[in-house]
Chains A and B, each alone.
Chain A
Amino acid sequence: MASTVAVPVAPTVSDPERCEGEEELRGLEAEEESNQHTGPVAAPSQNRLAKLPLSRIKALMKADPDVSLASQESVFIIAKATELFVEMIAKDALVYAHQGKRKTLQRKDLDNAIETVDEFAFLEGKFPSKHPSSLNLYHI
């Protein structure tokens, strides 16, 4: 029996960003399956699976002018992938912290990881340092 049934009326999530996310998500989705009843019902099952708020992910996706619509699933998958990415980059950076005999991850450990790990090549030159003028958007 599915135990992940949505609770009626009161939202069960404590994170306000997710609540807002849920509504925004419904507002802009291309629901391929069917019309979802869009009442004030929260979606705890969905939120449990993604730590990052889907609304924010979606907003980022829509910043791309070439993107018209994104399915709910795709937003979820990107959210999940981003989570995996954060885990990965943190772990890779930790290697450099250890090399420096430190227990605290620092910015330079991130920089090192980005330089050495192939998958992070897309991040090179993207970060503003303390001076915003050094942000290089056109690097890649």
Chain B
Amino acid sequence: MAERPEDLNLPNAVITRIIKEALPDGVNVSKEARRAISQAASVFVLYATSCANNFAMKAKRKTLNATDVMSAMEEMEFERFLQPLRESLEAYKKGQKGKKEASEQKRKDAKEKKNDVEENDKSREEEEEEEERMDEDQEAENEVEEEEVEN
């Protein structure tokens, strides 16, 4: 393999920040310790992923989901993470929903604007919208071509 998973490190600045926020003021962290923590974090991701994937495979799913990760945490004896993770997931889902609604609203606004501008040629406009939507869908489709739709 050209690239070992261990070579994929998480950004030092972020790791450092997380460490500093976890520890009391006045505590320093050596470069070596920081590097070791960063590597440990990478290994953690790999291990958690592998564990979660087992649950997905057991359920005959090809897509890893949040529940699989939760199960993995339990399996890995990190039950203490479960509650904060659930809370974070809720907040995340709300954020996603807000984003989706916002982009849908934007689409609607753009469409209405178009209606105003091209009042005369309605059929042509409809075609364009169709095209636009198709383009977007095509774009989205291209980007998700690796996907597998569940169900």
Interface residues of A (CB under 8 A from B): 2, 4-6, 8, 17, 26-39, 41, 43, 45-46, 48-53, 56-57, 59-61, 63-64, 66-74, 76-78, 80-91, 93-94, 97, 103-107, 109-111, 114, 118-120, 122-123, 126-128, 135
Residues in B lying within 8 Å of A, measured CB to CB: 3, 5-6, 8, 10-11, 14-15, 17-19, 21-23, 26-30, 32-33, 36-37, 39-50, 52-53, 57, 62-66, 68-70, 73, 76-78, 80-81, 84-85, 88-89, 91-96, 98-104, 106-107, 136-137, 139-140, 143-144, 146-150
Given the known inter-chain contacts A61-B49, A81-B85, please indicate yes or no for A103 contacting B26, CB distance below 8 A: yes
Q: Are A74 and B65 in contact (CB under 8 A)?
A: yes
Q: Complex formed: what's the CA distance from A103 to B26 in Å?
A: 7
Q: Is the CB of B18 within 8 A of A51?
A: yes
Question: What separation, in Å, do the CA atoms of A82 and B9 have in the docked complex?
Answer: 12
Q: How far is the CA of A29 from the CA of B143 in the complex (A)?
A: 8
Q: Are B64 and A71 closer than 8 Å at their CB atoms?
A: yes
- The answer to whether A81 touches B69, judged by C-beta atoms less than 8 angstroms apart, is yes
Contact A67 B18 (CB under 8 A): no
Note all chain A residues with C-beta closer than 8 A to B15: 86
Chain B min CB distance to A27 (Å):
5
Q: How far is the CA of A74 from the CA of B17 in the complex (A)?
A: 23
Give A23 Cβ to nearest chain B Cβ, in Å.
Answer: 9
- Collect the chain B residues with CB atoms within 8 Å of residue A26's CB: 143
- Nearest chain B residue, comparing its CB with the CB of A104: B28
User: In the bound complex, how far is the Cα of B150 from the Cα of A127, in angstroms?
Assistant: 38
Once the chains bind, are B57 and A41 in contact (CB under 8 Å)?
no
Task: From B14, B94, B106, give the contact of A37 (CB < 8 A).
Answer: B106
| Residue with the highest number of chain A CB atoms closer than 10 Å, among B15, B73, B99 | B99
Nearest chain A residue, comparing its CB with the CB of B100: A36
Could you list 13 further interchain pairs (A-B, Cβ under 8 angstroms) beyond the known A78-B48, A103-B28?
A: A32-B63, A35-B140, A35-B144, A38-B140, A38-B143, A52-B10, A61-B45, A70-B64, A81-B73, A86-B37, A104-B30, A107-B36, A123-B40
Cβ-defined contact, B36 with A46, below 8 A:
no
Asked whether B43 lies within 8 Å of A68 as measured between CB atoms, the reply is: no
Complex interface: chain B residues within 8 A of A111 (CB): 36
Contact between B95 and A49 (Cβ–Cβ < 8 Å)?
Answer: yes
